[in-house]
Chains A and B, each alone.
Chain A
Amino acid sequence: MSNWVKVAPFEEIPRLGARVVRTKNKDESELEIGVFRLEDDRIFAINNKCPHKAGPLSQGIVYGDKVACPMHSWKISLIDGKADEPDVGETACFNTKVEDGFVYLELKA
């Protein structure tokens, strides 16, 4: 079952930047998701935790379709959540859409 939630007006996500969305998992534990906007205005969302040492990816520098983690500069793909070589690791991805000027995020049902 899909579970789309309204996040924020599209303009409030900075281009080549991100915003943090805080929500809860099914078990009530806290979950932070980084919602990113690329230069071409595509929106991507990934778990806000770097697979390396859980650095907040939303705070990194965004370039191309990647983000550089602010902690130790691991490069994480916003498309599939995977770390650039030679690092190995992966963070969860979430579907996004933009409708009527608002960004929506699909949470796991």
Chain B
Amino acid sequence: MQKMKLVVVGNGMAGMRVVEELLKISPDLYDITVFGDEPYPNYNRIMLSPVLANEQTINDIILNTREWYAENNITLYTSARINKIDRKNRLVIAEDGTTAEYDRLLLATGSKPFMLPITGANLDGVIGYRDIKDTDEMIATAKTHQHAVVIGGGLLGLEAANGLKIQGMDVTVIHRNEWLLERQLDKTAGKMLQKSLETKGLKFQLNQNTKEITGKNGRVSNVHFADGTDLPADLVVMAVGIRPNFALAESAGIYCNKGIVVNDTMQTYDPRVYAVGECVAHRGISYGLVAPLFEMAKVCANHLANFGIGLYKGSVTSTKLKVTGVDLFSAGDFRSGAEAGDEEREEIVLHDAVGGVYKKLVIKDDKIIGSVLYGDTADGAWYFQMLRDNKPIHEIRDSLMFGQDSLGNTGHQGNDKAAAMTNEMEVCGCNGVCKGTIVKAIQDQGLFTIDDVKKQTKAGSSCGSCVGLVEQILASTLGGGYAPPSTSKAICGCSDLNHEQVREEIRSKKYLNIPDAIKGMTWRTPNGCATCRPALNYYLLSTWPHEAVDDPQSRFINERVHANIQKDGTYSVIPRMYGGVTTPDQLRKIADVADKYAVPMVKVTGGQRIDLLGVKKEDLVDMWKDLDMPSGYAYAKGIRTVKTCVGSEFCRFGTQDSTGLGIKIEKAFDHMWAPHKVKFAVSGCPRNCAESGIKDVGIIGVDSGWELYVGGNGGIKTEVAQFLCKVKTAEEVLEYSGAFIQIYREEARYLDRTVHWIERVGLDYVKKRVIEDTEGRKAAYERLLYALQGAVNPWAERVQNREKHKEFETITV
């Protein structure tokens, strides 16, 4: 079958991002032809500032090499400006006469610098700041000339000024407003920034309007201002804004209004023609930052691939200034109540003028609507995430200003500020990746997302404790190009659906096995991948207990063989000891088994039971038979242990029978699968010897009953469990904790621990479901008991039905 023809006009970041996304999801659908009017393949325009500042070279910022176009069978025309679209014959025509036919046309013509309409703007030496050519000209001029004037104190203007200063020029920035970056900063932060840039040697004239530019022999020599003064100038950079470049589309009769008008699928008024990037006007807005372009590109590629899902609904943007040594971050609407004429706005401000730190959060209706950070931007990405997600903040309001506090985790020596780290310092302790490696990968390979960095460097891809740090490094390396991942991201590369959508589909369409689910939800892969299959299997089982088919091949090895795989391929065996209580008989049996199978190590675990390590796979079933004890599920995304202290039966301080309750809970919830591992603890008094404060459900006995705590975690990041409620009887403990766990089982994403789930939905929500809604609580508890009905000990089942479990036998030839 003949392929359709896709022509892309514009070889920049937006257009090529669409092509990359398209190749990922539907590589064989189109013959692709790309026209670009610059002589280079696609490069990273946002990295032009580091090039000007001598921090990178042009070669460093090329995103797609000519080889890449060749490998993907893309026909590339460079230095080829399209000046006509013949929509009737579906043809584009370049200046040099080259033509190309299309079935689909993608316009990604970008924007152009706005040049002030003043006398002298056309003199030599008066330029905008947009592309490699402009950058080269600035570097060349700096070698032979001295005076530079930058008109415009916005992001681009300041980056140009900083670069020209580093190139050795004497630079003055002319700005119309009272302070710099007025669209990104409030006055306080703007003045702090100015002071810091002045120490770098930059000069500023604020509240100043440019009137005229004069020259000698056709080249600029002076800039004149409205107040009658003037400055000598060998180079003038106009950085007063950009304008969408839509002349081509307009000349072809495609509807434009300050940009090429597109709908939420990035389609123009001509259904065969799509447009993305800075050239479009979407819901009346044109974006000049890279993050929205990528969001548009994803949607556009999806529709070009005929998948027809995904809508672009506009972006909230954030900015960072890429000037080394200056940290600022801004997002949303940061105007105070008085400035915006809005009495409902509140502000939280931290200002250390001497230390050079300023932070302002603007809050309305319990949500962050804007933020300005200067000097310490480590939490920028975190605030921005909450802003985008409209997250209520009252639960964390008192500590909000002090940051996420999430990075003092184990494994990276307490380093929690990416900016303060040297290139040699280790970021990812699991995979041994240092900061320099990550920064280099981001720059050289043009990475924009956490997932890209994980894939290319492995940093953050194992235990995940350093992801926050990696995110900071990404944000500070990319500046304005950084787009925090959406919290509702796709389940994996096999589908565009997120976890919640997958769960809803399984519920509403009643899928009962993986092949039906994958087919029904139009997965891109024939049988998923190692990421989505375990998640799907869990979602099917938890949504349709007793009906859905468990697929052992979609489970991780540990759950498939009910033992924990070790680094040498042997397994560990941990029998259940309910509540951590054992007997001389059990101990003798364990000792005999350890002898018989020459178990290399016998170890007491942190969960109050005994681990037999180094067991061969073919010995597992025999060993289980000899042990004749139930599986401890020490390998499961499911109920692990219920840790207990001695309690009132022996302890002189004990107020409640914690051991008895622990055993009762462990028996009641035995065999339970969950999104991740689930640990309980029961302490008999507030001395809390069972460490209830760091468990998914921690229970503490007090004289008048039991206190329930939820969402604790002793792992990668220590999380103290939060108080849920106090109840009187052991039966109530079972009902409340069971309902809590069941709602977590039904609503959390696969691999969310309880703490992650609570972080997302909020403790208020959990309280509403478990405490306030009595009927709902009882029903949830009933659903859990129903799901666990008839569950069998998996070890005994394998002992009884060896024939069905050939997996444990090794074939010898």
Assuming A62-B553, A72-B462, is B530 touching A53 (CB within 8 A)? no
Interface residue ranges of A7-26 to B (CB < 8 Å)? 7-8, 12, 14-17, 19-23
- Check B509 for interface membership: any CB of A closer than 8 A: no
Assuming A22-B810, A70-B565, A71-B567, is B557 touching A59 (CB within 8 A)? yes
- Would you give the shortest CB distance from A40 to chain B, in whole angstroms? 8
How far, in whole Å, are A57 and B71 apart by their CA atoms in the complex?
31
Assuming A56-B569, A70-B565, A72-B462, is B813 touching A5 (CB within 8 A)? yes
* Per-residue contact bits, chain B 502-546, to A (CB 8 Å; 1 contact, 0 not): 000000000000000000000001111110011000000000000
How far, in whole Å, are A22 and B813 apart by their CA atoms in the complex?
6
* Per-residue contact bits, chain B 590-621, to A (CB 8 Å; 1 contact, 0 not): 00000000000000000000000000010000
Inter-chain CB contacts under 8 Å: number: 82
Whether the pair A23, B455 counts as a contact (CB closer than 8 A) is no
* Per-residue contact bits, chain A 53-69, to B (CB 8 Å; 1 contact, 0 not): 11110011111100010
- Check A41 for interface membership: any CB of B closer than 8 A: no
Whether the pair B806, A60 counts as a contact (CB closer than 8 A) is no
Assuming A7-B811, A8-B811, is B569 touching A61 (CB within 8 A)? no
Whether the pair B527, A16 counts as a contact (CB closer than 8 A) is yes
Whether the pair B528, A63 counts as a contact (CB closer than 8 A) is yes
- Check A73 for interface membership: any CB of B closer than 8 A: yes
Residue in B528, B565, B812 whose beta carbon sits within 8 Å of that of A59 in the complex: B565
How far, in whole Å, are A99 and B268 apart by their CA atoms in the complex?
58
- Would you give the shortest CB distance from B340 to chain A, in whole angstroms? 47
Spell out B's residues near A (CB within 8 Å). 455-458, 461-462, 525-530, 533-534, 552-557, 561, 565, 567, 569, 617, 806-807, 810-813
Instruction: Report chain B residues within 8 Å CB of A71.
Output: 565, 567
Assuming A63-B528, A64-B527, is B553 touching A16 (CB within 8 A)? yes
How far, in whole Å, are A61 and B553 apart by their CA atoms in the complex?
7
- Would you give the shortest CB distance from A66 to chain B, in whole angstroms? 8
Interface residue ranges of A34-86 to B (CB < 8 Å)? 35, 39, 53-56, 59-64, 68, 70-73, 75, 86
- Check A105 for interface membership: any CB of B closer than 8 A: yes
Known: A17-B553, A63-B525. 13 other contacts (CB 8 A): A17-B552, A19-B806, A19-B811, A20-B811, A22-B811, A56-B569, A60-B557, A61-B534, A62-B553, A63-B527, A63-B529, A64-B527, A105-B813
Q: How many A residues have CB within 8 A of the partner chain?
A: 34
How far, in whole Å, are A90 and B525 apart by their CA atoms in the complex?
24
How far, in whole Å, are A16 and B530 apart by their CA atoms in the complex?
11
**Which 7 residue pairs of A and B lie closest in terms of their CB atoms, listed nearest first?**
A68-B530, A61-B530, A56-B569, A59-B557, A16-B553, A70-B557, A21-B811
Residue in B526, B807, B811 whose beta carbon sits within 8 Å of that of A17 in the complex: B807
Whether the pair A55, B526 counts as a contact (CB closer than 8 A) is no
Whether the pair B812, A23 counts as a contact (CB closer than 8 A) is yes
- Would you give the shortest CB distance from B531 to chain A, in whole angstroms? 8
How far, in whole Å, are A7 and B373 apart by their CA atoms in the complex?
66
Name 19 interchain pairs, CB-CB below 8 A, sorted by A: A6-B813, A7-B811, A8-B811, A14-B806, A17-B553, A19-B807, A21-B810, A21-B811, A22-B810, A35-B811, A56-B569, A59-B569, A60-B530, A62-B553, A68-B529, A68-B530, A70-B557, A73-B530, A86-B455
- Would you give the shortest CB distance from B224 to chain A, in whole angstroms? 56
Whether the pair B567, A61 counts as a contact (CB closer than 8 A) is no
Whether the pair B813, A12 counts as a contact (CB closer than 8 A) is no
Whether the pair B810, A20 counts as a contact (CB closer than 8 A) is yes
Whether the pair B565, A7 counts as a contact (CB closer than 8 A) is no
Instruction: Report chain B residues within 8 Å CB of A39.
Output: 526-527
Residue of A nearest to B561 (CB): A59
Residue in B527, B534, B807, B811 whose beta carbon sits within 8 Å of that of A14 in the complex: B807
Residue in A14, A22, A53, A56 whose beta carbon sits within 8 Å of that of B812 in the complex: A22
Assuming A22-B810, A23-B813, A39-B526, is B556 touching A61 (CB within 8 A)? yes
Whether the pair A86, B456 counts as a contact (CB closer than 8 A) is yes
Assuming A21-B813, A72-B462, is B806 touching A64 (CB within 8 A)? no
